[in-house]
Structure 1
């Protein structure tokens, strides 16, 4: 059916619907005409009545009443017809609106049919093309199947040849193996004797080197120990001096190995050096790009390192006070690093979950150890750095063989909060740990047992990098609290000895001078306090 035929059919349907009301309209008009004629007759009768006809009979009166009743009925019928006419007109409007809507929809559908017809034509053309392509592929498949049958036949022939060759090869191999076994037995007797002698020589050489290395480490440690005279420790009552040292927040503090100076680092990207006795600022080392997170001296106080949140560790020369080396390779903030006793290597720990071993001279990364958790602090269990101890974000402490990168021991359940610092005792037999669970603990590194636990009602560890320390004689441990108070405990009894409030903000680190004369505390709010901790210093203050 064409578009014109569809339109004509719909117009006829519309006319049929509209003509359905024709009889009603004609009847209404007829009733209206009758009503008009009756009104005229009624007026004529009323006029005759008004003329005073006294001879009106009872029959005419009855006639008038009948006509009035008839008029009323016709008026009511007309009102009903008007009402019906109005309803029909409303239905007619509604039907016309529906017809218009459907006509518009029909036009859209006709348009859509046209588009779909075009799409069908295109798809039919594509289908024809693909059928043709399938026929061509069927021909190609038939050719390939013929080639496959030929190749399979050739393969069967080749496999028969291969079986024969393998059989011959097995025979030749068996003859060759028998001959080689005879020769190998003769060679093994000579080789075994040679290897035994060579292995014995290697063992003797390794033992000799180990003895020499231990002698060097012991001698170097002995030289440092002889040069440092440890004073008798006397716990302080108050700070002897308060110093404002940085232009921004302080993050770390460390005393030098010889006891002649101490250093601080902070958010102003500088490492500052101070005289150990007077507290006077002697030098300021620059070169870092972001916050200094920790500082450490080498065993001879010739070098100092600073770890940084720019993922690097920097080494400065204390003779020239210039930047000597920058160690880059971590992909996270570096929070701790230490020199080995011979100052040839550095161990660093980062939030990228790795420890790295560095060559100080070349700056090369010698080894990377994956630690499974971000490292907050580390220390060396032995002076030559063969064993490294690290404290982590997951509350655990791990021991590592720095030569192989293999984990030696993982200590779990020691603390219920992340580890903020680890440090070895002066005699090298125990480990001091500090944690965000507000406790410090001493661990026997030989048996991995907790020897002592320290806590106090007023002690709160306020930072993820808060550092604690042993006293040089190992009799006390010290740590700073979130309220700015210094806490000191007795290592033998585990009881708190001092809780002194001198700082105005959280203490980020404490460091004891190796001579035992002074204890240094650094608060985050740019200040350092010096505490006299020797009997000599206390007697001088008394005088």
Structure 2
């Protein structure tokens, strides 16, 4: 192996190594998730040298410079206030979702008007309208970090793969027998995963457009759930409403109305674990960055943290008085944010599982929560027509983003954390800087 280049990754902190092996160029990353401005650089350097043979004596000084650059970035004060840059009359019907590409140079909006639109973040101009679905475009995703493809999942039971540059539709993925409500790319951008109300998830090949596998519980397991575990307002059900790849791309977790999570082996399509413990429908599931933990949010008013290797529940995060509608890790995986129908959000320490702070101030349910890339701020979207920016350390509300005339369903930070987009039932999207 021969090291060719070193790159820096700011969020989460890490150093990317480009190297040559067997005549092929490859890359891997050294994660520095616990790096702080006060971390001893020499100690970090020694640990990197111990675990990474590509970092030789001749590269030591270069790595040291990169670590210091990361520390400088982490030490920058975060005192930004956001102002309304532009109101986009985005769609003729309410929005369902918004999402940035990796660089934040463009973003997408999905809508009940059956379209997805691509927007230029700097100018606010519409770049393309993705038309072809015959029902609500409910789920949307960029193939980050590449950002050259978009997947849209629809209530018309199909998923479409598009060029982010031209707006051309590459493929229409057909096979689900009910609405598609969640969609995501694997980190390598070779697969699209879709989750459906038909109780299955499917994996699709980005290059060929073919179905790779259907992830479904066996009839025996379904029967067991129906007999012993599951009874909700929809009857016996196992609709998949949330899914997430780990950062390696070899595992996929799905969350279902049947109160359970299932962990799948991506290459084989085999079920690894079914995680049982929630007493209500699952609303959101996510891996942390280093693939060690999974967090789930549920209508049973709680979140649970699971060991991604064993499938065991490590902790139950309680305190909300109503359904938990969203949950996420920050980039480094050290914090967890929850959003609830009780109008509050909470920040938990992902190592001790203790509540760090409670975010209070919204006058309606919170449907979406996310961290900025630095992990210092949380952003919430609420039915009270506002979004709020919060301090993760103190729990204080730093800013109220007002102006929407109906519920805000979706919100997101860009990669640098200096731009926010909000999507609303009022048919508009707003850019905040």
Q: Does the alignment reach a TM-score above 0.5?
A: yes
Tell me how far 1:411 sits from its aligned partner: 4.3
Normalised TM-score (structure 1): 0.50
Tell me how far 1:481 sits from its aligned partner: 1.3
Taking only aligned residues, the RMSD between alpha carbons, in angstroms, comes to: 3.7
Structure 2 counterparts to residues 413-432 of structure 1, below 5 A: 413=277, 418-425=281-288
Structure 2 counterparts to residues 6-405 of structure 1, below 5 A: 216=26, 218=28, 233-234=78-79, 236=81, 239-298=84-143, 299-370=145-216, 373-383=238-248, 385-405=249-269
Task: Give the number of the structure whose residues are more often helix, by fraction.
Answer: 1
Tell me how far 1:475 sits from its aligned partner: 3.3
Q: What is the rounded CA distance, in whole Å, between the counterparts of 1:262 and 1:346 in structure 2?
A: 19
SS of corresponding position for 2:374: coil
Tell me how far 1:340 sits from its aligned partner: 1.7
Is the 8 Å Cα contact of residues 296 and 305 (structure 1) preserved in structure 2? yes
Q: What is the rounded CA distance, in whole Å, between the counterparts of 1:524 and 1:352 in structure 2?
A: 26
SS of corresponding position for 1:468: strand
Tell me how far 1:324 sits from its aligned partner: 0.5
Alignment equivalent of 1:458, drawn from 359, 362, 365? 362
Tell me how far 1:244 sits from its aligned partner: 1.7
Which residue matches 1:474? 375
Which segments of 5 or more consecutive residues in structure 2 lack a partner in the other structure?
1-20, 33-65, 223-237, 318-334, 339-344, 346-359
CA 423–290 in structure 1, closer or farther in 2 if over 3 Å, else same: same
Tell me how far 1:452 sits from its aligned partner: 4.7
Is the 8 Å Cα contact of residues 280 and 299 (structure 2) preserved in structure 1? yes
Q: Deviations over 1:240-259 (max 9, x none)?
A: 43222101121111111222
Task: Give the number of the structure whose residues are more often strand, by fraction.
Answer: 2
Q: What is the rounded CA distance, in whole Å, between the counterparts of 2:260 and 2:365 in structure 1?
A: 17
Tell me how far 1:330 sits from its aligned partner: 0.7
CA 350–239 in structure 1, closer or farther in 2 if over 3 Å, else same: same
Q: What is the rounded CA distance, in whole Å, between the counterparts of 2:429 and 2:362 in structure 1?
A: 21
Which residue matches 1:15? none
Query: Which is worse superposed, 324-333 or 340-349?
Result: 340-349
Rg comparison, structure with higher value: 1
Q: What is the rounded CA distance, in whole Å, between the counterparts of 1:395 and 1:460 in structure 2?
A: 25
CA 233–286 in structure 1, closer or farther in 2 if over 3 Å, else same: farther
Query: Which is worse superposed, 448-457 or 248-257?
Result: 448-457
SS of corresponding position for 2:28: helix
The count of residues paired between Structure 1 and Structure 2 equals: 312
Tell me how far 1:274 sits from its aligned partner: 0.9
Normalised TM-score (structure 2): 0.62
Is the 8 Å Cα contact of residues 246 and 289 (structure 2) preserved in structure 1? no
Q: Which has the higher contact order (CA 8 A, sep 6+)?
A: 2
CA 253–221 in structure 1, closer or farther in 2 if over 3 Å, else same: farther
Is the 8 Å Cα contact of residues 452 and 494 (structure 1) preserved in structure 2? no
Q: What is the rounded CA distance, in whole Å, between the counterparts of 1:282 and 1:290 in structure 2?
A: 22
CA 393–448 in structure 1, closer or farther in 2 if over 3 Å, else same: same
Which residue matches 2:432? 531
CA 428–513 in structure 1, closer or farther in 2 if over 3 Å, else same: farther
Q: What is the rounded CA distance, in whole Å, between the counterparts of 1:389 and 1:505 in structure 2?
A: 32
